[in-house]
């Protein structure tokens, strides 16, 4: 589904990604872990198309398309979804209205008819139930005055609505207490299927207790320095990132 080859990127003059290689197939969940400043969020941002980052080398193929050539909105329309670490507030725009706009723009791009009000409402009710979110929250201005947990739950609701092929969860666990974490993770798990894939970007192993990955990659200084299965995450939790740092230094 997603094939990343030798991806290098910088912000300003600062080179952050030093050559990333990663292959993700449908049905898989990949966790990207690493110490602060290792380039985790940069990778998520580059994949979703943030303009501040300049790609200096490499290729990213997404379902046969050159992802790097697509605008951020076209990437989303092709099926990439990013659950933000810090979802922004948009005063005066309800989540419902926001989702209606998004869904219909995506449908138009795919040559589908816009959803009528009844079908949209039906879809919304179904997804609300799936991710355990209350409609009162969706009637409010997008993320305005939401608690940390509400914001993340809203992100997962949007993910459910847009049914992406590849979801990138950027530090979704930050700022969540254990109950909120469980609800958010449940939502993500319910959305997992053989047809989609998920990248979970996280600093801590904690989230991976709930969203169990097929593969774990450790990012350090802009490179994937170690890959493994979910046991690698546990090992990291036990030994700390210094273990990786020392290993890299020894090479």
Partner 1 sequence: MSKDNQVLEELTSKEYEHGWTVNLEADEAPRGLNEDTVRFISAKKNEPEWLLEWRLKAFRMWVKMAEPKWPNVHYPPIDYQDIIYYSAPKKKASLNSIDEVDPELIKTFEKLGISLGEQKRLTGIAVDAVIDSVSVATTFKDKLSELGIIFCSFSEAVKEHPELIRKYLGSVVPINDNYFAALNSAVFSDGSFCYIPKGVRCPMELSTYFRINAANTGQFERTLIVAEEGAYVSYLEGCTAPMRDENQLHAAVVELYTMKDAEIKYSTVQNWYPGDKNGKGGIYNFVTKRGLCFGDHSKISWTQVETGSAITWKYPSCVLKGDYSKGEFYSVAVTNNYQQADTGTKMIHIGKNTSSRIVSKGISAGKSQNSYRGQVQIMKRASNARNFSQCDSLLMGDQCGAHTFPYIDVENNTARIEHEATTSKIGEDQIFYCQQRGISEEAAVALIVNGYAKEVLNQLPMEFAVEAQKLLALTLEGSVG
Q: Do the strands 141-142 and 90-94 form a parallel or antiparallel pair, or are they unpaired?
A: antiparallel
Q: How far apart are CA 176 and CA 120, in angstroms?
A: 30
Question: Among 212, 159, 222, 209, which residue's Cα sits nearest to residue 22?
Answer: 222
Nearer to partner 1, 12 or 91 (CB): 91
CB of 175 to partner 1, least distance (A): 17
188 binds partner 1 (CB under 8 A): no
Nearer to partner 1, 76 or 232 (CB): 76
Binding mask 121-160 for partner 1 (x = CB under 8 A): --------------------x----------------x--
**Mapping DSSP to helix (H, G, I), strand (E, B) and coil, where does residue 216 land?**
strand
Q: 115: burial class by Cβ within 10 Å (0-12, 13-18, 19+)?
A: middle
**Angle 191-88-148 (CA atoms, 0-180°, nearest 5)?**
65
CB of 247 to partner 1, least distance (A): 35
Please select the residue that binds partner 1; options are 12, 36, 64, 92, rule is CB under 8 A: 92
Residue 6 DSSP label: E
37 binds partner 1 (CB under 8 A): no
Question: Among 118, 138, 140, which residue's Cα sits nearest to residue 128?
Answer: 138
Please select the residue that binds partner 1; options are 17, 162, 166, 216, rule is CB under 8 A: 162
Nearer to partner 1, 70 or 234 (CB): 70
Q: 248: burial class by Cβ within 10 Å (0-12, 13-18, 19+)?
A: middle
What is the H or E stretch that residue 179 is in? Answer: helix 178-191
Binding mask 70-89 for partner 1 (x = CB under 8 A): -xxx-xxx---xx-x--xx-
Contact region for partner 1 (CB under 8 A) — 15-23, 48-56, 181-189, 233-241? 48-56
Q: 94: burial class by Cβ within 10 Å (0-12, 13-18, 19+)?
A: middle
CB of 155 to partner 1, least distance (A): 10
Contact region for partner 1 (CB under 8 A) — 5-13, 90-98, 179-187, 195-203? 90-98
Residues lying near partner 1 in the complex (CB under 8 A) are found at 48-51, 71-73, 75-77, 81-82, 84, 87-88, 90-93, 97-99, 101-103, 105-106, 109, 141, 158, 162
């Amino acid at each position: 589904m997603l094939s990343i080859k030798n991806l290098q990127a910088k912000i300003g003059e600062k080179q952050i990604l030093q050559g990333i290689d990663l292959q993700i197939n449908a049905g898989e969940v990949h966790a990207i872990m690493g110490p602060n400043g290792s380039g985790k969020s940069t990778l998520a941002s580059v994949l979703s198309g943030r303009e501040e980052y300049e790609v200096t080398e490499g290729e990213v193929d997404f379902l046969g398309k050159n992802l790097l050539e697509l605008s951020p909105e076209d990437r989303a329309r092709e099926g990439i979804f990013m659950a933000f670490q810090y979802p922004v507030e948009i005063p005066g725009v309800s989540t419902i209205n926001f989702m209606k706009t998004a869904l219909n723009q995506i449908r138009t791009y795919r040559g589908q008819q816009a959803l009528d009000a009844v079908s949209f409402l039906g879809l919304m009710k179904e997804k609300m139930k799936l991710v355990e979110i209350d409609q009162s929250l969706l009637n409010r201005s997008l993320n305005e005055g939401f608690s940390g947990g509400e914001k993340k739950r809203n992100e997962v609701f949007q993910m459910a609505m847009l049914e992406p092929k590849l979801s990138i969860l950027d530090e979704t666990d930050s700022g969540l207490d254990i109950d909120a974490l469980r609800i958010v993770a449940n939502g993500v798990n319910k959305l997992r299927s053989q047809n989609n894939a998920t990248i979970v970007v996280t600093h801590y192993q904690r989230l991976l207790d709930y969203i169990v990955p097929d593969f774990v990659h450790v990012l350090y200084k802009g490179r994937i320095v170690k890959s493994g299965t979910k046991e690698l995450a546990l090992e990291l939790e036990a030994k700390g990132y210094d273990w990786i740092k020392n290993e890299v230094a020894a090479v």
